[in-house]
Structure formats: C-alpha cells, structure tokens
Amino acid sequence: MFATDDGAVCRHHDIAHLHALLSDFDVVRERRLDVATMNGNRSGAVQLPARKR
C-alpha cells in the first residue's frame, strides 16, 4: 500500500484476493492488462466489472 502526493491511496492485491472480495458478486468479465506504473515501470493490472447477485 502507498499514498501519492495528491492523496490517492493505492493497494496491490493478487487475483485470488480480488475474487474473494467479490464473492457476493457475479464477475461479468475479467480483463488482464499490461500497464505502466506512475514510475514508468511495467505491471499487470486487472479489470473486474461485477454485478450484485
């Protein structure tokens, strides 16, 4: 976890933890992306649009 100078709080979680957090939802789609971090490094990201059951 880290905070940016402008107040954003950022956290990194593995995909299993994210799925556990969304256990009461139906994940509509899972999209994995290769993104650049705020420091310009490469990192993996995921988008999990979900719908409440």
Give 28 or 9, the one with higher predicted confidence.
28
> Does pLDDT of 19 surpass 90?
yes
Which 8-state DSSP code applies to residue 13?
Answer: -
Mean pLDDT of the chain: 93
- Indicate the SS3 state at residue 23: coil
pLDDT of residue 39: 84
Name residue 47's amino acid: Q
CB-based burial label for 18 (10 Å; 0-12, 13-18, 19+)? middle
Give 41 or 38, the one with higher predicted confidence.
41
CA-CA distance, 10 to 4, in Å (whole number)?
8
> Does pLDDT of 27 surpass 90?
yes
pTM for the structure as a whole = 0.71
